[in-house]
Chain A
Amino acid sequence: MSLLRYAVFRLALAVPTLLILLTVVFFVLRVIPGNPIVAMVGMKAPPEYVEQLIREAGLDKPLHEQYLEYLVHVFTGNLGKSLIFGKRDVSLEIMDRLPATVELALAAFLVSIALGHLFGFMAARYGGKIDLTARVYAMVTYVLFIPFIGLALQLVFSVWLGIFPVAGRITPGLEPPRVTGLYLVDSLLAGRLDSFVDALWHLALPSFTLGLVLSGVFVRLIRNNMVKTLGEDFVYAYRAIGFPERRVLWKAYRVAIVPTVTMMGLQLALLLQGAVLTETTFSWPGLGTLLLERIQYLDYPTVQGAVVVFVLIVVFMNVAVDIINALLDPRVRRGL
């Protein structure tokens, strides 16, 4: 099967997953409680006002019509209007916040890959005590409760040592002109070195926190795959021929890394939920903080929109990971 055909098939397979998750979200946010609008404006609001809001949100219609309307809206990119702050489009509110989450998640992912390689590789190569240390490291980092380790790092590096800023994404006034919304990219595009350094300084602790907590999973993945590969015949053959150890390791690494790509896709859920916690801990203005803020303001369309965007990210990233995997390993394409 060609890569393109594989990609098309894989995308088609994502449709049921997408529908299932969107249905779960609909069910959770609309079917469980009596009436989100009443919950939102409180019992004391005048009944006419409540009815008007209910009609505006389309909640007076029968459930199956609401469901269809909701699906149509999601697929046409219409996420409704916020109930507060000038009733802006929810999609605009989300676009304001999404880049911050993406920037944090990408940076954290890089940190965890780096730490995962370092410890995973060492553990596989040297074994023994180093292997045990790596195992303990993987276990402990996985259970580090993000607000705890985040606040502890804040305490040490921001409050006591004063190296990094306590919270936020950038010093107000230094924001680069928006192109991608990623401050690191935008500041480089605008040639603003001061903004770049400032954004990087703000990003350091949050991305290290999230990356550290995720890295345990990668340590295990890389260690296990390397150990397995190092035991294979071709490695034995390379060694017998007399290849230098560095080259043998490099050859083995290139084989071992392929299966880890699929597994990395599975860590996406961990990365996203970790991002929500990291954002709250560091007052990072991303999608996670948006979700939690708006739950408090009972801004129900924005809450639903934010959760739907998380669904879209999960589904499409999983497709992307599988396609990358098919690119790296042609056998995957045949398996479909």
Chain B
Amino acid sequence: MMLKIGAALVLSVVLLSALAPLIAPYDPTKRAGDPLAPPSVAHFFGTDNLGRDVFSRVLYGGQVIIGISLLATLMSAAVGFTLGMFSGYVGGKLDKALSMAMDSMYAFPSLILAIAIASVLGPSPLNAAAAIGVVYVPTYFRMARNETMVVKSSLFIEAAVALGMPRRRILFRHILPNLVPSLVVVATINIADAALTESALAFFGYTVTPPTPDWGLDLSSARSYIVNGSWWLLTPGGFVVITALGFSMLGEGLGEKLGKKEV
């Protein structure tokens, strides 16, 4: 149930934004009607203060948030997962030191760190992805490390070591496959967090520069028009919630299916 609803939400958001050039009735950056016109047949979600079509902006804005969130998730998964697997397998002092560093970072509010990084790097989609990617490294590190510790003590690993298999082969051919289900679950749920962080960074102006549409950025432009532009205020933010909900439901659903309860 959870899996199906999550998949449906994710699929529709991804499809809508991927097919934006085909679906969007107007150019998202150009004036398409009267400013601050309420929803109508011509403009499903009304228009913004510059007369741009909010529906078209929402469709294109999806590309930005989903692109940045996926890129950030890939980055933090690649770094955190590899590091965690290695640290868990090697153990000893290195593992202690790395775990301590990762746990410390994990306790710190990721958004505040992301704001600091993004403010230093300057506003751009790539920089935002890097900032989000860095702050979620500990999430993957912890998961990969803990699971590697468990798998490490299995007989088949002992056998591989006894056969003199090189460490890299043991890690990537024998341990990694056992970690894939957890990785998939954690990463899917993490996309939801990444999307929320992306929207927050966009809200503060660290992702794209106007007139490029981005849900967080559009929400922050719309706040000045709360009195006479409520439709504009509610749509981009609503889509952030739908997207994040879709990914977290999909992740939890997958977790149930794969027998991985909240890793």
- A272 and B109 contacting across the interface, CB-CB below 8 Å: yes
In the bound complex, residues from chain B placing their C-beta under 8 Å from that of A291 are: 112, 115
Contact B119 A303 (CB under 8 A): yes
Contact B192 A273 (CB under 8 A): no
B104 engages A17 (CB within 8 Å):
yes
Cα A266 to Cα B238 in complex, Å, equals 28
Residue in chain A with minimal CB distance to B246:
A143
Smallest CB separation, B121 vs chain A (Å): 7
- Chain A, 248-301, CB within 8 A of any chain B CB: 266, 268-270, 272-273, 276-277, 280-281, 291-292, 295
B200 touches A277 (CB 8 A): yes
Nearest chain-A residue to B252 (Cβ)?
A139
With an 8 A cutoff between CB atoms, is B100 at the interface?
Answer: yes
Asked if B219 and A17 make an inter-chain contact with CB atoms under 8 angstroms apart, the answer reads no
Q: CB < 8 Å: which of A17, A140, A148, A166 contacts B237? A: A148
B110–A147 CB distance below 8 A? no
Most buried by A among B109, B111, B192, B223: B109
B116, B222, B245: the one contacting A28 at CB < 8 Å is B116
Q: Is the CB of A145 within 8 A of B112?
A: no
Q: Mark A6-45, 1 if CB is under 8 A from B, else 0.
A: 0000000000110011001100110011001000000000
Q: Is A314 an interface residue when CB atoms closer than 8 A count as contact? A: yes
Do B104 and A21 touch across chains, with their CB atoms under 8 A apart?
Answer: yes
| B261 smallest CB distance to A (angstroms) | 10
Residue of A nearest to B199 (CB): A145
- Residues in A with CB closer than 8 Å to B101 are 20
User: Are B240 and A145 neighbours in the complex by a CB distance under 8 Å?
Assistant: yes
**In which size bucket is the chain B interface?**
35 or more
B227 pairs with A159, CB closer than 8 A:
yes
- Check A33 against B120 for contact (C-beta < 8 Å): yes
How far apart are the CA atoms of A16 and B105 in the complex, in Å? 12
Contact, CB under 8 Å: B245 / A273: no
Given A28-B116, A152-B234, A292-B108 contact (CB < 8 Å): no
B104 shortest CB reach to chain A, Å: 4
Interface size on A, residues (CB 8 A): 47
A28/B100 in contact, CB under 8 A: no
- What are the interface flags for A298-334 relative to B under an 8 Å C-beta threshold, 1 for contact and 0 otherwise? 0000010001001100110010000000000000000
Task: Kindly report which residue of chain B lies nearest to residue A36, judged by CB atoms.
Answer: B120
Contact with A along B130-161 (1 / 0, CB 8 A): 00000000000000000000000000000000
Of B111, B117, B230, B234, which is within 8 A of A277 by CB? B111
CB of B110 within 8 A of CB of A20, answer no
Whether A16 contacts B100 by the Cβ 8 Å rule is yes
Cross-interface CB contact of A152 among B104, B117, B220, B237, cutoff 8 Å: B237
Instruction: Give the interface of A toward B (CB within 8 A).
Output: 16-17, 20-21, 24-25, 28-29, 32-33, 36, 139-140, 142-149, 151-152, 154-155, 159, 166, 266, 268-270, 272-273, 276-277, 280-281, 291-292, 295, 303, 307, 310-311, 314-315, 318
Binding site for A on B (CB under 8 A): 100-101, 103-113, 115-117, 119-121, 192, 196, 199-200, 203-204, 216, 219-220, 222-223, 226-227, 230, 233-234, 237-238, 240-241, 244-245, 248-249, 252
